[in-house]
Chains A and B, each alone.
Chain A
Amino acid sequence: MKPLLLVEDSDPDAEALMRIAKRLPLPVPVVRVRDGENALDYLYQRGEHVAAERPVLILLDMHMPGISGRDVLAQLKADPDLRSIPVIIFSSSLDMGDVNGAYASGANSYLFKPEVGPQLQATAEALHAFWFKAARLPEAQESEA
């Protein structure tokens, strides 16, 4: 089952999203990695992520220590094999520079990480409604093993 890849360094935010995903429920499992390096390892099936499944959707935090979300995004979108995976930026930054930069690097949408509580719930629901109900996700290019 192809998962949703959640790249998020904040434990409480990741946990909150997992909880929401469980409640919705999301049609796909959520796999979480906590930084950019692990995200790339996962996508390229390296290191401890050798057996990683190709995700159908990536939820990517921008501000992370080390390799930032922006670096991960740029690398993905420059890769002909990976660029078709939709990437949703999930960030606490309202800075228009960050927003424009993300789209310029090929982000498929940019979501502001809302306040904790009902707004977060609402955002997660909207995300679910759009990407898993309204939109069609790209088929995986490779056949499943």
Chain B
Amino acid sequence: MSPSVSDADLSVCDREPIHLLGGIQPRGVLVAFHQDTEAVAVVSANAAALLGAGPDALLGQPLSRVLPHGLLARVEAGAGPGPVTVEVSGQRCSALLHDSDGLRVLELEPLTDEDAGTSTEETALGAVQRLVSPLARAKGTVALLQHAAEAVREVIGYDRVMVYRFHADFHGEVVAESVREGVDSFLGLHFPASDIPVQARALYTRHPVRLIADVDAKVVGLVPPLLPGTQRPLDLSGAALRSVSEIHLEYLRNMGVGASFSVSLLKDGQLWGLMACHHLTPRKVSAARRQACEVLARLLSLQLAAEERGLEAAAQARRASLLNVLVLPNLGERSPARALEAQAPLLMELTGAHGVALVLGASAGPDASPLLLGSTPSADEVRALVAWLAERELPDDVLHVDRLGDVYPPLASRADVAAGLLAVRLDPAVPHFALWFRPEVARTVAWAGNPNKPVRPEPGHERLRPRASFDVWREETRGASQPWSLQDLEAARALKGALVGVVLRHAEELAQLSRELARSNAELDAFGGTVAHDLKEPLRGILQYSSFLQEDFGPTLGEEGRAQLESLMWLAKRTHGLLDDLFEYSRLGRLELSWEATDQQALVEDVLTTLGARLQEGRVEVRLPRRLPTVECDAVRIRQVWANLISNAAKYQTAEPRWVEVGFVGPGETRPQAARHISAPYLFFVRDPGIGIAPQFHEAIFELFRRLHPAQAYGGGTGAGLAIARRLVSLHGGALWVDSAQGKGSTFYFTLGEGPRS
């Protein structure tokens, strides 16, 4: 009848000196002796069973009198810490030797018939073979762990082999398992960190293998119980026969376990997990098999490390590519906010969150709706959270919590979606955030096992059961999410960096554009100023002297001379005109429009009055089928547009009858095909049946000085008119385009904006 264990005992678990319990398991004999004299210093109380004499007779004796001749030498010659099979009192035993408290400690374990007869190397080798086979490697971590569990079960023949994995908070999870038919499964079980207390974890890190061959076995004491030098029991940390904590035994008994064997899984020297093996009845595992399992575990650890590094590298690469996708350089048309919104699913993946909220650009502000994706709190809750976050100092602009409710009570009740928050502030100036949410971890974990049936119901220690462990762990993690890993934080920071890069690049692009604009404006200004004077002046000079020539020598020049002089003056005037147009065009960008309700009918009539003589001369009929409406615009500028379009329409006609139609399409009226995409209320047009424009020139004609005809043809325009007209229309927020085909006439359409563009 084992002493009962209370919850209070559980709480002192962490302080129990489990390496100094001063006892061993009865499956073997321990002899500790002085290095120099080989005199026996400590011996286990059960020594007589194997050594033929009790502790009193053995203590102080040289080892050579206690053990068969040459045994120690053979053990010492054994390779490394591995067991050496020796014969003691007619029994085949495995011998292990290690140092502790300045003494040499020899442990002898009689071999079972099973072990004595066969070579364990083959079994072990087979298991190792299986573990490191390409098949196992190819399938990823879970498959690898599964293989390991099966390999270990094959080596030791236990009923259940589990692979525990410790999480960052040291709570454990059963991630792989191999069980004999009919034995309860613990797969998916989570247990609190306290189930394997700190000092146990420390011990497991230093000494990777533990065997409890029989949970009901009586602990065998050591003689003397305390070392004379230290006044405490011999330190048994390194002893294979070390007895274990009664609490642990109780736990095992409650689980219906008769024997337990575990091997540590270390990764980079840190305890990563355990291979925990249970047998429902007592069962020994020979030192050789234990060693085989240890080798397996080391191999597995190496594999895991490689595996994890591979996974990390893959995740890193994935994140990098996500970031790449997120920060595609095609932001010409899109703000960073829009680009991000388009990539929201990738954003979730970035940190392994269950929900993302984006609060930036159009989705920021007290009235805007944050962009929500996946499982998140409501828009109102997110807005409130952002307001709270905006007030806080965030080191590195990042906040990560796995118990949001503790720091931000308003969301304490929303652990279902927002137990964990990873927030990254994207802009120091405005409260723009990327928020990742994770639900309560317990909600994401289900454990189907039912080891709750009390195997040996004893009042007072219901706690010592897996179900209780699971419940404790669930309770402990209530309101907590899976913690954010370093990688998650890195990804979030990288995203922020990338975003800031994007935002900056966006700003940089804008700045670059405005710099270029400013420069080209300045250049145009300078050019304008130059045009206004320096370039035009020589032309004026040419004109002046040509006119002096005409005045003074005209009569004597003769027909040909006068014609040449005329050509000279025409060229000079034309160049002068080009420069004037260019100057005007250059000033358009800095034009301040003066918007007013303008009667387009009056505007067009005014234009027709001005063009009257030219229209009559070309015998062009102007058709105004209906009165034009009154719309908001800068009358002076739009008059210029009408004038340009109407005079062009009149100009580019050869066949009779010549006409120009000026009209509009009003709100709700059927739009022509060429204007079906236009949403502006009024669509104005100028139509002519003239020479038309081939489609490939439909845009070219709007380029400055782009001409389709010889300069002297069709009244010799400079080619600036349409460029200026388009610029004026677009300053109004409208568009100007042409619908035409060669020889089929042309229709120029334009729209006007809704008023001054801020």
Are A63 and B544 neighbours in the complex by a CB distance under 8 Å?
no
Q: Give B542's nearest chain A residue, CB to CB.
A: A12
Interface 0/1 of B523-544, CB less than 8 Å to A:
0000000001100110011011
Chain B residues in 8 Å Cβ range of A116? 540, 543-544, 546-547
How far is it, in angstroms, between the C-alpha of A93 and the C-alpha of B530 when the chains are bound?
Answer: 11
Chain A residues in 8 Å Cβ range of B545? 12
How far is it, in angstroms, between the C-alpha of A71 and the C-alpha of B433 when the chains are bound?
Answer: 57
How far is it, in angstroms, between the C-alpha of A55 and the C-alpha of B546 when the chains are bound?
Answer: 31
Given the interface contacts A19-B548, A116-B547, A117-B547, does A11 sit within 8 Å of B541 by beta carbon?
yes
Are B540 and A63 neighbours in the complex by a CB distance under 8 Å?
no
Chain A residues in 8 Å Cβ range of B543? 12, 115-117
Chain A residues in 8 Å Cβ range of B546? 116
How far is it, in angstroms, between the C-alpha of A4 and the C-alpha of B548 when the chains are bound?
Answer: 22
Q: Give B533's nearest chain A residue, CB to CB.
A: A63
Q: Give B580's nearest chain A residue, CB to CB.
A: A94
How far is it, in angstroms, between the C-alpha of A13 and the C-alpha of B544 when the chains are bound?
Answer: 7
Q: Is A75 an interface residue (CB 8 A)?
A: no
Q: Would you list which residues of chain B between 502 and 560 have a CB under 8 Å from chain A?
A: 532-533, 536-537, 540-541, 543-548, 551
How far is it, in angstroms, between the C-alpha of A63 and the C-alpha of B545 when the chains are bound?
Answer: 21
Q: Is A43 an interface residue (CB 8 A)?
A: no
How far is it, in angstroms, between the C-alpha of A11 and the C-alpha of B548 when the chains are bound?
Answer: 13
**Most B C-beta atoms less than 10 A away, residue of A93, A94, A116:** A116
B537, B547, B548, B551: the one within 8 Å of A10 (CB): B537
Chain A residues in 8 Å Cβ range of B540? 10, 12-13, 92, 113, 116
Are B548 and A16 neighbours in the complex by a CB distance under 8 Å?
yes
Chain B residues in 8 Å Cβ range of A19? 548, 551
B532, B547, B548: the one within 8 Å of A93 (CB): B532
Q: Give B544's nearest chain A residue, CB to CB.
A: A12
How far is it, in angstroms, between the C-alpha of A10 and the C-alpha of B546 when the chains are bound?
Answer: 15
Are B536 and A15 neighbours in the complex by a CB distance under 8 Å?
no
How far, in Å, is B274 (CB) from chain A's closest CB?
85
Chain A residues in 8 Å Cβ range of B541? 10-13
Q: Would you list which residues of chain A between 1 and 35 have a CB under 8 Å from chain B?
A: 10-13, 15-16, 19
How far, in Å, is B540 (CB) from chain A's closest CB?
6
Chain A residues in 8 Å Cβ range of B532? 63, 92-95
Q: Give A94's nearest chain B residue, CB to CB.
A: B532
Chain A residues in 8 Å Cβ range of B551? 19
Q: Would you list which residues of chain B between 566 and 624 have a CB under 8 Å from chain A?
A: 573, 576
How far is it, in angstroms, between the C-alpha of A93 and the C-alpha of B546 when the chains are bound?
Answer: 23
How far is it, in angstroms, between the C-alpha of A12 and the C-alpha of B545 when the chains are bound?
Answer: 7
Count of A-B contacts judged by CB separation below 8 Å = 41
Interface 0/1 of A120-140, CB less than 8 Å to B:
000000000000000000000
Are B547 and A92 neighbours in the complex by a CB distance under 8 Å?
no
How far is it, in angstroms, between the C-alpha of A92 and the C-alpha of B532 when the chains are bound?
Answer: 7
User: How many residues of B are counted as interface, with CB atoms below 8 angstroms from the partner's CB atoms?
Assistant: 15
Chain B residues in 8 Å Cβ range of A10? 537, 540-541
How far, in Å, is A124 (CB) from chain B's closest CB?
13
Chain A residues in 8 Å Cβ range of B548? 15-16, 19
Q: Would you list which residues of chain A between 94 and 117 have a CB under 8 Å from chain B?
A: 94-95, 113, 115-117
Chain B residues in 8 Å Cβ range of A92? 532-533, 536-537, 540
How far, in Å, is A34 (CB) from chain B's closest CB?
13
How far, in Å, is A91 (CB) from chain B's closest CB?
9
How far is it, in angstroms, between the C-alpha of A115 and the C-alpha of B573 when the chains are bound?
Answer: 9
How far is it, in angstroms, between the C-alpha of A95 and the C-alpha of B551 when the chains are bound?
Answer: 32
Interface 0/1 of B366-407, CB less than 8 Å to A:
000000000000000000000000000000000000000000
Q: Would you list which residues of chain B between 402 and 428 have a CB under 8 Å from chain A?
A: none
Chain A residues in 8 Å Cβ range of B544? 12-13, 15-16, 116
Chain A residues in 8 Å Cβ range of B547? 16, 116-117
How far is it, in angstroms, between the C-alpha of A94 and the C-alpha of B531 when the chains are bound?
Answer: 12
Chain B residues in 8 Å Cβ range of A95? 532
How far is it, in angstroms, between the C-alpha of A12 and the C-alpha of B532 when the chains are bound?
Answer: 16
Chain B residues in 8 Å Cβ range of A63? 532-533
Q: Give B536's nearest chain A residue, CB to CB.
A: A92
How far is it, in angstroms, between the C-alpha of A92 and the C-alpha of B530 when the chains are bound?
Answer: 11
Q: Give B583's nearest chain A residue, CB to CB.
A: A94
How far, in Å, is A95 (CB) from chain B's closest CB?
7
Q: Give B545's nearest chain A residue, CB to CB.
A: A12
Q: Give B537's nearest chain A residue, CB to CB.
A: A10
How far, in Å, is B544 (CB) from chain A's closest CB?
3
How far, in Å, is A45 (CB) from chain B's closest CB?
29
How far is it, in angstroms, between the C-alpha of A95 and the C-alpha of B580 when the chains are bound?
Answer: 12
**Most B C-beta atoms less than 10 A away, residue of A12, A16, A93, A117:** A12
How far is it, in angstroms, between the C-alpha of A15 and the C-alpha of B543 when the chains are bound?
Answer: 12
How far is it, in angstroms, between the C-alpha of A30 and the C-alpha of B162 when the chains are bound?
Answer: 115
How far, in Å, is A67 (CB) from chain B's closest CB?
15
How far is it, in angstroms, between the C-alpha of A115 and the C-alpha of B543 when the chains are bound?
Answer: 9
Q: Give A64's nearest chain B residue, CB to CB.
A: B533
Interface 0/1 of A31-66, CB less than 8 Å to B:
000000000000000000000000000000001000
Chain B residues in 8 Å Cβ range of A93? 532-533
Q: Give B528's nearest chain A residue, CB to CB.
A: A95
Q: Give A117's nearest chain B residue, CB to CB.
A: B547
Chain B residues in 8 Å Cβ range of A117? 543, 547
Chain B residues in 8 Å Cβ range of A115? 543, 573, 576
How far, in Å, is B591 (CB) from chain A's closest CB?
12
Chain B residues in 8 Å Cβ range of A113? 540
How far, in Å, is B538 (CB) from chain A's closest CB?
9
How far is it, in angstroms, between the C-alpha of A10 and the C-alpha of B548 when the chains are bound?
Answer: 15
How far, in Å, is B728 (CB) from chain A's closest CB?
17
How far is it, in angstroms, between the C-alpha of A16 and the C-alpha of B543 when the chains are bound?
Answer: 10
How far is it, in angstroms, between the C-alpha of A11 and the C-alpha of B547 when the chains are bound?
Answer: 14
How far, in Å, is B572 (CB) from chain A's closest CB?
8
How far is it, in angstroms, between the C-alpha of A33 and the C-alpha of B544 when the chains are bound?
Answer: 19
Interface 0/1 of B226-250, CB less than 8 Å to A:
0000000000000000000000000
Q: Give A62's nearest chain B residue, CB to CB.
A: B533
How far, in Å, is B576 (CB) from chain A's closest CB?
8
How far is it, in angstroms, between the C-alpha of A10 and the C-alpha of B534 when the chains are bound?
Answer: 10
How far is it, in angstroms, between the C-alpha of A89 and the C-alpha of B541 when the chains are bound?
Answer: 19
How far is it, in angstroms, between the C-alpha of A116 and the C-alpha of B544 when the chains are bound?
Answer: 6
**Most B C-beta atoms less than 10 A away, residue of A16, A19, A63, A93:** A16
Interface 0/1 of A66-100, CB less than 8 Å to B:
00000000000000000000000000111100000
How far, in Å, is B521 (CB) from chain A's closest CB?
15
Q: Give B539's nearest chain A residue, CB to CB.
A: A116
How far is it, in angstroms, between the C-alpha of A19 and the C-alpha of B576 when the chains are bound?
Answer: 23
How far, in Å, is B269 (CB) from chain A's closest CB?
78
Chain A residues in 8 Å Cβ range of B573? 115
How far, in Å, is A56 (CB) from chain B's closest CB?
26
How far, in Å, is A102 (CB) from chain B's closest CB?
14
Chain B residues in 8 Å Cβ range of A15? 544, 548
How far, in Å, is A113 (CB) from chain B's closest CB?
8
**Most A C-beta atoms less than 10 A away, residue of B536, B540, B551:** B540
Chain A residues in 8 Å Cβ range of B537? 10, 92
How far is it, in angstroms, between the C-alpha of A16 and the C-alpha of B532 when the chains are bound?
Answer: 19
How far is it, in angstroms, between the C-alpha of A94 and the C-alpha of B548 when the chains are bound?
Answer: 26
User: 11 pairs across A/B with beta carbons < 8 Å?
Assistant: A10-B537, A11-B541, A12-B540, A13-B540, A13-B544, A19-B551, A93-B532, A94-B532, A95-B532, A115-B576, A117-B543
A sample of 18 more A-B contacts (CB under 8 A), given A16-B548, A63-B533, is A10-B537, A10-B541, A11-B541, A12-B543, A13-B540, A16-B544, A16-B547, A92-B532, A92-B536, A94-B532, A95-B532, A113-B540, A115-B543, A115-B576, A116-B540, A116-B543, A116-B546, A117-B547
A interface, CB within 8 angstroms of B: 10-13, 15-16, 19, 63, 92-95, 113, 115-117
Q: Which 5 A-B pairs have the closest CB atoms?
A: A12-B544, A116-B543, A12-B541, A63-B533, A16-B544
